[in-house]
Structure 1
Amino acid sequence: MDTSSILPHTPDLRYLAQIIQLAVAPVFLLAGLGAFLNVCAGRLARIVDRMRTLEPRILGSRGEEHDRLLGEVRLLDRRSRVVSTAIFTTVLAAVLISLVVVLLFMAFLTGYRYGTAIALLFIAAMICTGLGFAIFLHETRLGIRSIQVRAHILEHQADED
């Protein structure tokens, strides 16, 4: 066994305090990701509610109204998939950050050097976090597009009698 990869096993309380200090930043990051997930879940719930409202209206509509409602439901379906993807990548980031914290404490308890693994996990977590934010940005753009579809109503002129 290569002993150069093993630190002297000394779970000293002085070192534990340092490990706790190192773990604080990732834990705050987890709290921020939790708040972001709450926003994503709220958007997803609103999308689902809107889809459920439109479903019976689609079945009872015809012509242009049917086509408009169907287009809106298709956009809502796409948005729900995009938000779900943002949630997935953000949860994956949270899992990776949790592993970072676990490895910090495992290194303390076992004396093994997990520095490279910790750094790689943290990099992966940051990539997932950024990706989750970028996907969320895309979803908000889709949401704006659904509002702009109705802009024709603002330009509508009532027929003069």
Structure 2
Amino acid sequence: MIANANDVTTLGHTIELAIAPVFLLVAAGGFLNVLAGRLARIVDRARTRGQILMEATGHQHESIKEELRAIDRRIGLVNAAISLVVLAAVLICLVVILLFAAKMVDIMLYDVISVLFAVAMVSIAAGFSLFLVETRIASRWIHVSSDLLEHQVMMDEKKD
């Protein structure tokens, strides 16, 4: 089958329309990579702190338990963010597929495509929001020891 110039122009226009969602798909993939890396580090922290908890007593034991509760919440938030971004990626894929299907079959799917794209954007925004909440929780647990903050260099140490 030989395509006429109008078909090629229409296909070219459809490809142009699909480029923006594809770039969004690439960005979602990058964000998923960040979230997966963050989740791995949080899980590592949970394992390390869990081992320390088994030997801790008193105030240290309670402090570590409290931190582990926060870590558990962070894991849940990152997992939810991953789910939302994956949902957005699937919806973006559907947008691209439907853009081509609408042109090929010559049916009006623009309302459906618009809704899918809007839901994808809401899903990504929600994923970013959960990421923000998770990073805020993490920053509350970053402590610089007052011993370090108030450390004074001894005169003997300066000579070395």
Relative to the length of structure 2, the TM-score reads 0.85
- Distance in 2 (alpha carbons) for counterparts of 1:115 and 1:155: 62
Distance of 1:120 and 1:155 partners within structure 2: 56
Q: Percent identity?
A: 46
Q: Name 1:31's counterpart in structure 2.
A: 26
CA deviations over 1:28-78 (Å, ceiling 9, x no partner)? 000011111111111100000011111121111111111111111111111
Regions of 4+ moved over 4 Å: 155-158
Unaligned runs of 5+ in 2: 1-5, 152-160
Q: Tell me how far apart the structure 1 counterparts of residues 91 and 147 of structure 2 sit (CA, whole Å).
A: 50
Determine whether 1:154 maps to 2:149.
no
Among candidates 101, 111, 115, match of residue 110 of structure 2: 115
Partner of 2:129 in structure 1? 134
Moved more, 20-29 or 106-115: 106-115
Match among 64, 67, 85 for residue 69 of structure 1: 64
Taking the aligned partners of 2:129 and 2:24, their CA distance within structure 1 comes to 17
In the TM superposition, residue 155 of structure 1 has moved relative to its aligned partner by 6.3
Q: Distance in 1 between matches of 2:43 and 2:123?
A: 25
- For residue 113 of structure 1, give the secondary structure of its aligned residue in structure 2: coil
- Counterpart amino acid of 1:20? I
Stretches of structure 1 that go unaligned for 5 or more consecutive residues are: 1-10
Compare relative contact order (CA 8 Å, sep 6+) and give the higher one, 1 or 2. Answer: 1
Output the CA distance in 2 between the equivalents of 1:56 and 1:134. 31
* Count of residues in correspondence between the two structures: 145
Match of 2:79 in 1: 84
Provide the rounded CA distance (Å) in 2 between the counterparts of 1:123 and 1:155: 51
Residue 107 of structure 2 aligns to a residue whose secondary structure is coil
Aligned counterpart in structure 2 of residue 94 of structure 1, from 89, 101, 115? 89
- SS of the residue corresponding to residue 141 of structure 2 reads helix
Letter paired with 1:21: E
Name the structure 2 match of 1:21. 16
Is 2:35 the counterpart of 1:40?
yes
Structure-1 residue corresponding to 2:154:
none
